[in-house]
Amino acid sequence: MRIATWNVNSIKAHFEQVTSWVKDEKPDVLCLQELKCEDHNFPTAAFEELGYTCAVHGQKTYNGVALLARGKIEDVQRGLPGDASDEQARFISGTVFGASRPVTVAALYLPNGNPAPGPKYDYKLGWMERLVAHAQQLLKSEDAFVLAGDYNVIPAAVDAKHPQNWLSDALFLPQTRAAYQTLVNLGLTESFRALHPQEQGAYSFWDYQAGAWPKNNGIRIDHLLLSPQAADMLMAAEIHRDARGHEKPSDHVPVMIELQ
DNA sequence: ATGACATATGAGATATGA
């Protein structure tokens, strides 16, 4: 079972590139972030024609996440538990069915948090605390699960071309990295780094500005975190950096893993 | 030090992103 995550920076603006990639790669499960559209404007019919079931948690202009799967999706949950007043569409989860066992997959779009300090950074840290609490709940079941998405977290200096430029940024502040490490320390496995411990220059985001892409001035912020039961099934993890080379691309590229 | 670039909204300029 192959599971991919991709911050598409508007599904409307990048529809052709997303569907083209899906036709080529045929992931079994696809987590999308930054749809920037409401549910009724998501191209559900087009993805259904490609063989996917769609679970969408959209929002006008900002945010918006979706979970797509080749088979059925059960127990869909929209929104990250822990704050009923949070109206930002940044989390959707559901259970999909692989050859061997069910897997719960969450598509998440963790808040950017800039400028830090400030209310946006407070929101980011609060969101991360809620994600830790939710992961703790999921771990109790001992089921396989995958938390996939745009974490807006640079885990370590190796995950940025110029880490010194990010020291005071919400994506790389010590408090951000500590919160992310708290999540991982629950017993989760970060797929890409687990399989490529030494690899440098592997990024998933390049700013549109200042020629970041041709200089490979990127950061690795899109991650798939695995429960112990899912980690046991991990066979591959790859960043599809070629997607950044098209005309008018998203600023993120897909990251895809293979389980069992 | 600043802006550079992209998207959505809505019809100009602003908010957001990372």
Distance, Å, A62 CA → B11 C1' = 20
**Is pLDDT at A2 greater than 90 in this prediction?**
yes
Q: Chain B positions under 7 Å from a protein CB?
A: 3-9, 16-18
Q: Which residues lie closer than 8 Å to A141 by C-beta, 6 or more apart?
A: none
At A80, the pLDDT band (50, 70, 90 cuts) reads: very high
| Confidence grade of residue A236 (pLDDT, cut at 50, 70, 90) | very high
- From the list A128, A181, A157, A180, the residue with the least C-alpha distance to A166 is A157
pTM confidence score = 0.97
> What whole-number distance in Å separates Cα of residue A180 and Cα of residue A132?
9
User: Which CATH number covers residue A238?
Assistant: 3.60.10.10
CB-side neighbour CA atoms (13 Å) of A129: 9
Q: Is the CB of A161 under 7 A from strand B?
A: no
Instruction: Round to a whole number and report the distance in Å from the CA of A41 to the C1' of B16.
Output: 20
Handedness of CA A136, A141, A144, A147 (dihedral sign): negative
Q: Shortest CA–C1' contact from A170: which nucleotide?
A: B18
> Mind listing the pLDDT tens digit for each residue in A111-166?
999 999 999 999 999 999 999 999 999 999 999 999 999 999 999 999 999 999 99
The 8-class DSSP code of residue A209 comes to S
Domain region containing A75? 2-259
Q: What pLDDT, on a 0 to 100 scale, did the predictor assign at position A100? A: 86
Which tokens in the block code for residue A32? 């999308």
Residue A99 has pLDDT above 90, yes or no: no
Give the pLDDT of residue A11: 97
Q: Is the CB of A221 under 7 A from strand B?
A: yes
Span A46-79, pLDDT tens digits: 999 999 999 999 999 999 999 999 999 999 999 9
Q: How far is the CA of A209 from the C1' of B3 (A)?
A: 9
Asked if strand B comes closer than 7 Å to A210 Cβ, the answer is: yes
Structure tokens at A157: 């200096």
Give A98's pLDDT tier (boundaries 50, 70, 90): confident
* Residue A14 beta carbon within 7 A of nucleic strand B: yes
Place of tokens 């009923």: A84
Model confidence at A86, pLDDT cuts 50, 70, 90, reads: very high
Residue A121 has which token pair?
Answer: 């950074």
Longest dimension (CA), chain A: 47
* Interatomic separation, CA of residue A90 and C1' of nucleotide B1, rounded (Å): 34
Does residue A150 reach within 7 angstroms of strand B, measured from its CB?
Answer: yes
Tens digit of each residue's pLDDT (9 = 90 or more) over A173-226:
999 999 999 999 999 999 999 999 999 999 999 999 999 999 999 999 999 999
The count of domains in chain A is: 1
Across chain A, mean pLDDT equals: 97
